[in-house]
Amino acid sequence: MKFEYKPIGILMVCHGNICRSPMAEFVLKDLIEKKCLTERFYVASAATSTEEIGNPVHHGTKKRLKEAGISCEGKYAVQLNKGDYCKYEYLIGMEQRNIVNMMRILGGDPEGKVRRLLDFGANPRDIADPWYTGDFDTTYNDVLEGCKALLDHILEQKKGLFPYRVD
């Protein structure tokens, strides 16, 4: 007997889609790959603004990800659109301001899919924007904390869908 599952869609969202949300996208992809669950997830990222559309990932994010052994090559900023609500099970903002802008673009959240990344962790908070702080290490640590907590949450919620070892 063969079982097939629709991949779980996760969209990471920040203001410009060049710093935090691509960092979260590629950190989460790395965590998923390490658990051998790549075929069970679809992870992407997007912006709430149009300011950086078409631009590559910020050099500070690229550098920090490279230090962690994670590549983000080929990623260019795209904008969130209303249709993304149906495409993804989880739409994850990096800060409260992102959530407000996501709700405006999506037209609401009737299914409760929209959350901040660190709302899944033990210490809910916004992830500071390294565009302003220049501190990509703190952003990376927060993103890693949030991605681990999000993945743990999903694996707990979807236990029956994962016949692989997930610990």
Q: Which of 28, 26, 15, 32 is nearest to 63 (CA)?
A: 26
The encoded tokens of residue 45 equal 């990222």
| List 19, 20, 40, 147, catalytic entry | 20
The residue among 150, 90, 98 whose CA lies nearest residue 129 is: 98
Please confirm, yes or no, whether 40 is among the known catalytic residues: no
What is the residue-wise DSSP string for 7-18?
PEEEEEEESSSS
Reply yes or no on whether 86 is catalytic.
no
Instruction: Check if 20 is active-site.
Output: yes
Set 115, 129, 142, 147: catalytic member: 129
Alpha-carbon distance of 72 to 49, in angstroms, equals: 21
Q: Which are the catalytic amino acids?
A: 14, 20, 129
